Amino acid sequence: AQKITQTQPGMFVQEKEAVTLDCTYDTSDQSYGLFWYKQPSSGEMIFLIYQGSYDEQNATEGRYSLNFQKARKSANLVISASQLGDSAMYFCAMRPRYTGNQFYFGTGTSLTVIP
Amino acid sequence: GAGVSQTPSNKVTEKGKYVELRCDPISGHTALYWYRQSLGQGPEFLIYFQGTGAADDSGLPNDRFFAVRPEGSVSTLKIQRTERGDSAVYLCASSETGRNTGELFFGEGSRLTVL
């Protein structure tokens, strides 16, 4: 079974500070991709960052980095230097490479950046 | 257009009615997905198209839900005999098959309210 778990329903962070959003996953596939999406109040899902299961280095995209610990099956998102515009829902997702082609999403974490 | 376009953005209907939701993916994207997102939840997979065919429809909740993509571009999600429990935001996403990351590009969603 494929499952994504996000245990933090809500998080607060001070502007300009860093924050880590947790994500753990469960899959029997050996090859898979991990994704993080941002969903502001407008509703659109915005792709942030990708990590392949065989990538040896943690992915980084600007202020976003993914702390990938394969043995623990965790893929935490780190946002550095938080900005007010980072306030949104954040979803972790996984796509197994060989078991179908659907993306599995977690329940999300609501991040609020405090000025 | 440059992004995934969904219409209507909002649809209010009465229980028992028929509705159609339309998705126009990014040009050239062969993979198209429909997801459903209820309040406070992550996107829930409904169906995935590769080209014109439904490669995976395992997420459709029952036979009242049907989707087509006759020419491999625009897709229509059809819901018959709507029920109040069908109220949700229906998200469409497209993806470029063959890309290593293969991230999903989402539309802004169609919010369906069944009274």
pLDDT tens for each residue of B89-101: 999 999 887 555 6
Q: Which of A111, A109, A113, A112 is nearest to A23 (CA)?
A: A109
User: Which stretch of DSSP H or E encloses residue B110?
Assistant: strand B110-114
Inter-chain CB proximity A103 and B42 less than 8 Å? no
Task: Reduce the DSSP state of residue B99 to 3 states and report it.
Answer: coil
Supply the pLDDT for residue A99: 66
Contact status, residue A66 vs residue A72, Cβ threshold 8 Å: no
Inter-chain CB proximity B103 and A43 less than 8 Å? no
Residues of B in contact with A100 (CB under 8 A): 48, 56, 58
Overall average pLDDT of the A101-109 stretch? 91
Supply the pLDDT for residue A21: 98
Whether pLDDT at A101 is above 90: no
Sign of the CA dihedral running B85, B59, B34, A92 = positive
Q: Does B20 touch chain A (CB under 8 A)?
A: no
Q: Which amino acid is at A2?
A: Q
Supply the pLDDT for residue A100: 65
Give the pLDDT confidence of A33-88 residue by residue, as tens digits.
999 999 999 888 999 999 999 998 999 999 999 999 999 999 999 999 999 999 99
Whether pLDDT at B1 is above 60: no
Banded model confidence at residue A1, pLDDT cuts 50, 70, 90: confident
- The residue of chain B with its CA nearest to that of A33 is B101
Give the pLDDT confidence of B24-81 residue by residue, as tens digits.
999 989 899 999 999 889 999 999 998 888 888 999 999 999 999 999 899 999 999 9
Q: pLDDT above 90 covers what percent of chain A?
A: 82
Q: Which of B113, B108, B61 is nearest to B88 (CA)?
A: B113
Q: Does B10 touch chain A (CB under 8 A)?
A: no
